[in-house]
Amino acid sequence: MVTGLGAVTPLGPDIETTWSRLIAGEGSGAAVTAFDTDGHPVRIGCEAREFEPGQWLDRRTLQRTDRFAQFAVAAARMAEADSRVDVAAAPDRVGASIATAQGGVASLAECCAGADAARIHPRLVTAFMPNMAAGWVSMELGARGPVGAPCTACAASAMAIGEGYDAIRLGRAEVMFCGGSEAGITPIAIAGFAAMRALSRRNDDPARASRPFDADRDGFVMGEGAAVLVLEELEHARGRGATIYAELAGYGMSSDAFHMTEPDPEGVGQARAVAAALADAGLRTDEVDYVNAHASSTGLGDATETAAIKLALGEEKARSIPISSIKGATGHCLGAAGAVEAAATVLALRDNVVPPTINYETPDPACDLDYVPNEARRLPVRVALSNSFGFGGHNAVLVFREELAA
């Protein structure tokens, strides 16, 4: 069961602000302020500008942590407060699964820029290691159960949630703090993704640059932030009178085994992950009410996901349900994207409202489904999929549904 949510995103410093702005159709794309972008071919991003790390960590800890770990601790603390779970009551039965794609890339670049090998700061290794967000969340919460840190590109935090789900099903924990964190709006990361032509170059129109499924999409816009979901064993949650948002009912994953950056254009691998997730949940394709798509505003990626949804659900079903991508609003938060989108999917179930795909203006013949363009849509949502697909061919799909009556 999902009993708590916490997030820091480009749309807001907490989950409810993020959700209200998302449903209102607001976006976050703007000129990057984190560093001097002169000389960079890409100068836009979706920054978490309202985040105040000092609200969540003391000065000494701030000096020892990268921004990606700071995001994670803040989101976990918010999720803890939202769930009202008492970690200290049984710390050995509480774990954390916090993913990232890049880890502390800012700390690595900063410490190594022009540095003498004898003068490297002693905090470098523990600042940039990808498992440090999970480590800090565990220490800050006092959670002594299973701790993991998937690092599977843009599928990472969906897999972190899936691993937390499995830990509870296997009896290894009763409560898991699961999600992902990313702070990739840095000179080296922006330059690297720009060099591989993955990023939008709409520097003169940043608010409209991220445009999933639109015919004029030209790459994703880098986002940053974190989201954490509290997953809890059903009887444990009911026993303490927890508020239950939704049930995480199924998890599926697969590999394209095709290319390091390009998805299999037929969508076969992605479709297998959808099928595996639905089978794990014991649900039929005709029971799906909504798909929260991975779609990041890349030419091949969005078209491939469209093909995969048709393949997995069947053409008729795929055309009959709403499908939306929130990356038009948040940008692509890389290793945190799956968790941010999972949280949005849970709130869609709670409120029976589907978030819009903003900046969708021109239909693409290769993307011909119902993408909920520009305005949120109210309708019953009982079962929803959250798709996450990453470089390297990593595919992860989560199935959420309304809590079943006792």
- Among this protein's residues, is 367 annotated catalytic? no
Catalytic residue among 46, 154, 178, 333: 154
CA distances from 312 to 266, 302, 318, 382 (A): 11, 15, 9, 19
- Residue 154 among the catalytic residues: yes
What is the rounded distance in angstroms from the CA atom of residue 150 to the CA atom of residue 182? 13
- Is 294 annotated in the active site? yes
Catalytic residue among 46, 111, 178, 332: 332
Rounded CA-CA distance 398/281 in Å is 9
β-strand partners of 175: 94, 232
Collapse the DSSP code of 224 into the 3-class scheme (helix H, G, I; strand E, B; otherwise coil) and give the result.
Answer: coil
> Catalytic pick from 46, 111, 236, 294?
294
* 163-167: Cβ within 8 A, 24+ apart: 163/97, 164/95, 164/97, 164/229, 164/231, 165/231, 165/248, 165/251, 166/251, 167/95, 167/97
Tell me the residue type at 234: L
Cα-Cα-Cα-Cα torsion 60, 62, 65, 67, nearest 10 degrees, comes to 180
In whole angstroms, how large is the CA radius of gyration of the chain?
20
Rounded CA gap, 345 and 339, in Å?
10
Across 290-325, b (16+ Cβ under 10 Å) vs e yields bbbbbbbbbeebbbbbbbbbbbbbeeebbeebbbbb
Give which of 314, 252, 318, 315 is closest to 290, Cα–Cα. Answer: 318
Q: Which residues are tagged catalytic?
A: 154, 294, 332
